[in-house]
Amino acid sequence: MNHELSEKAKKLSQGAVIDKPGSTVETKTGGWKTFKPVTNYEECIKCGKCWAVCPEAAYKQNKDGFFEVDLDYCKGCGICAKECPKKCIKMELEEK
């Protein structure tokens, strides 16, 4: 077996490597989700748990204290919906 890397392979960046601080924001991970979270703000108590548990840091707090998801970074895992104490986040099928 030939273990030499081709010139093309040598130019590829390593997968799953953060090569400089703060660079993850440049990689939008939202394109591969099937379901997206939708919040009913009438039920929300602004506790911030959705923000705290999201592995993609996709939630940001707005000026009114509510947490809004940036779908460019949400991968649709559903953790926020499962952990919301008020069950006011529903996962809905993403329309493409």
- Please give the residue ranges that form the binding site for ligand SF4 (CB under 6 A): 37, 39, 44-50, 54, 56, 58, 67, 69, 74-80, 84-86, 88-89
Nearer to ligand SF4 among residue 14 and residue 69 (C-beta): 69
- Tell me how far, at minimum, the Cβ of 63 lies from ligand SF4, in Å: 15
Q: Which residue is it, tokens 């529903």?
A: 90
Structure tokens at 92: 């809905």
At a CB cut-off of 8 Å and minimum separation 6, what does 80 contact? 37, 49, 50, 53, 54, 59, 69, 89
Residues in contact with 22: Cβ distance below 8 Å, sequence separation at least 6, in sequence order: none
CA 67 – CA 59 distance, rounded (Å) = 6
**In terms of CB distance, is 5 or 45 closer to ligand SF4?**
45
In angstroms, give the least distance from the CB of 64 to ligand SF4. Answer: 12
CB of 21 or CB of 85, closer to ligand SF4: 85
Q: In angstroms, what is the minimal distance from the CB of 23 to ligand SF4?
A: 19
